[in-house]
Structure 1
Amino acid sequence: MKKYILIGLGGAIGAILRCFIRNTKIPVYKGEFPISTLMINLSGAFILAVILITANEIWSFNEEIRLGIATGFVGAYTTFSTMCKETIILMNKNLYFLAFCYVTVSVVFGLLFAYFGALSARKILSRLLKVRKEDEKAS
């Protein structure tokens, strides 16, 4: 039961954050490209990779906490369905090239952000663990 509460809590926080970012207007951008959703999904790919690498390879997170963060927060924060809807909207406006670019950038950069999230987590957390071990030896 606790895991469902944590997933729901994480989901509520992720959905609120997504809504906040989605409704934040970028003053210098006035085009048709759905930049807010792209930023949300790319940052979500990065965050999910960091969380999963941290939980699975570095520290052993409690399974319920990992589910609350990964499934709840990141799952509600990112939005594949909105990306699909926005792609259809672009296509309905005959902006086929822009729709193609949106999907391509979302997938390719999503994978890159996930890769760099995993890489970053491994580097940063391994350094933190190394410093912790050195501190323990010095004590």
Structure 2
Amino acid sequence: MPPLLLVMLGGAIGAGLRYQISRFALQIMGSGFPWGTWIINLVGGLLMGILVGALSGDPVGTAPLRLLLGAGVLGGFTTFSAFSLETVGMLQAGGHVMAAAYAVSSVAGSVVLCIIGLFIGRALA
């Protein structure tokens, strides 16, 4: 199967899972805290670590599986999984300051840009 189709198929699965888990968390835990997103982001980071760890022995032979499950399913499930993997890579390489700067700037930057995007979107509406 072409790489793009693997990623697209996995992305559809991941996005569907994210939607269902978010709905379930909202029904069970209420709307006082973004439990669905929090759970998804933490689970996504865990699953990305498991995937990369499990497939690290044969990077060439497992490329289709990495595309389907990593870029596809986990990418559609949450981009936080990729962020987690990148941060862990920096930590493992000894780049503690870089990892901290990346983590803080990614989270804070995303929140600030989301606020800016809300203002832009409302202005265009």
Q: Shorter-chain TM-score category?
A: 0.5 to 0.7
Give 1:64 deviation, angstroms. Answer: 1.8
Q: Residue 8 of structure 2 corresponds to which residue in structure 1?
A: 8
The 5-angstrom pairing of residues 121-132 of structure 1 reads none
One-letter code aligned to 2:64 = E
Computed over aligned residues only, the root mean square deviation of the Cα atoms, in angstroms, reads: 3.0
CA distance in 1, matches of 2:7, 2:79: 16
The answer to whether the Cα contact below 8 Å between 1:11 and 1:73 also exists between their aligned partners in 2 is yes
Identity of aligned residues (%): 32
Give, as a single letter, the amino acid of the residue that structure 1 aligns with 2:56. Answer: N
Q: Counterpart in 1 of 2:54?
A: 54
Which ranges of structure 1 fall in alignment gaps of 5 or more residues?
Answer: 90-139
Q: Find the aligned partners of 1:11 and 1:31 in 2 and give their Cα distance.
A: 26
1:79–1:70 distance in 2 versus 1, CA, 3 Å: closer
Query: Larger radius of gyration, structure 1 or 2?
Result: 1
The CA deviation at 1:32 is: 2.3
Counterpart residue identity of residue 4, structure 1:
L
Q: Does 1:45 align with 2:48?
A: no
Task: Tell me the amino acid that sits aligned with residue 49 of structure 1.
Answer: G
| Structure 2 CA distance for aligned equivalents of residues 50 and 41 of structure 1 | 14
Structure 1 residue aligned with 2:74: 74
Specify every segment of 5 or more residues in structure 2 that has no aligned partner in the other structure, as ranges: 81-106, 116-125
> CA 1:60/1:77 → structure 2, altered by over 3 Å: closer, same or farther?
same
Greater than 6 Å deviation, 4+ residue runs = none
Task: Give the drift of 1:65.
Answer: 1.8
Task: Give the corresponding residue for 1:123.
Answer: none
In structure 2, distance between residues paired with 1:31 and 1:72: 28
Alpha-carbon offset, residue 78 of structure 1: 1.0
**Which one has more relative contact order, counting CA pairs under 8 Å at least 6 apart?**
1
Please give the TM-score of this superposition, normalised by the length of structure 2.
Answer: 0.57
Q: TM-score, normalised by structure 1?
A: 0.52
Measured after TM superposition, the shift of residue 39 of structure 1 is 0.1
